[in-house]
Amino acid sequence: MKNKVDTVDLMILRELRNDCKRPMRELAQRLRMHPNTLLQRIKRLEKSKIVRKYHADIDYKALGYDMHAVVMIRIKKSGLEDERLLENVANLPEIQSLYAVTGGADCIAIVKAKSRDDLVRVLKAIQTEKSVLRTTSYLVLVTYKESYQFNPLSAIVPDKE
């Protein structure tokens, strides 16, 4: 049976997405809820796998990952059925995200590397996969919004303040 998510759940999810380390009492006060009620709702959201994990926002640039690239990957016609290809590419440590897509490319990889040489090594590793026809790379010059900033709930859920 699918769990029903109400407006209160959406408000909780919005707040967790904005700051999942906020103390429970502070979060309950912000949402004007009893802390026990809030905790029960969060546990239900976790149990139903709506909340899957909590993450740390790490500044990889501060750790030396200065090269950020978007790599479009063209694959042979039967290549997308080759799970090993996708696993091999996804398992490269520098691959931040890997998507199968429609359009001019078959896959898009988001790559973070420490240097140009590291980026070249990752591109060669992708290109040597037998089903890969070609790659097209775009270096990211400026980032205006990161994936961790995605929170559509802030637009659809009224703020109680």
Does residue 86 belong to any structural domain of this protein? Answer: yes
Does residue 62 belong to any structural domain of this protein? Answer: no
Same domain, yes or no, for 72 and 134?
yes
Can you give the pLDDT at residue 3? 67
Does residue 16 belong to any structural domain of this protein? Answer: yes
Residue 23 — pLDDT band, cuts 50, 70, 90? very high
Can you give the pLDDT at residue 79? 60
Q: Are 67 and 139 in contact (CB under 8 A)?
A: yes
How many DSSP H helices and E strands does the chain contain?
A: 6, 4
Residue 157 — pLDDT band, cuts 50, 70, 90? low
Cα–Cα distance measured from residue 127 to residue 143, given in angstroms and rounded to the nearest whole number: 26
Mean pLDDT of the chain: 89
Same domain, yes or no, for 18 and 38?
yes
23: tokens are 């103390």
CA 156 to centroid of chain Cα atoms: 21
Tally of domains within the chain? 2
Same domain, yes or no, for 51 and 80?
no
Can you give the pLDDT at residue 154? 75
113-116: long-range pairs with CB below 8 Å, 24+: 113/65, 113/66, 113/67, 113/69, 114/64, 114/65, 114/66, 114/67, 115/66, 115/67, 116/67
Percent of the chain with pLDDT over 90: 65
Does residue 133 belong to any structural domain of this protein? Answer: yes
User: What range defines the domain where residue 19 resides?
Assistant: 7-56
Q: Is the pLDDT of residue 161 over 80?
A: no
pLDDT (average), residues 138-156: 84
Same domain, yes or no, for 72 and 123?
yes
Does residue 160 belong to any structural domain of this protein? Answer: no
Same domain, yes or no, for 132 and 91?
yes
Does residue 145 belong to any structural domain of this protein? Answer: no
Does residue 13 belong to any structural domain of this protein? Answer: yes
Same domain, yes or no, for 71 and 36?
no
Same domain, yes or no, for 126 and 74?
yes
Which domain CATH number covers 38? 1.10.10.10
pLDDT digits (tens, 9 = 90+) for 61-97: 899 999 999 999 999 876 667 778 888 999 999 999 9
Query: What is the model's pTM?
Result: 0.77
Residue with the larger pLDDT of the pair 3 and 119:
119
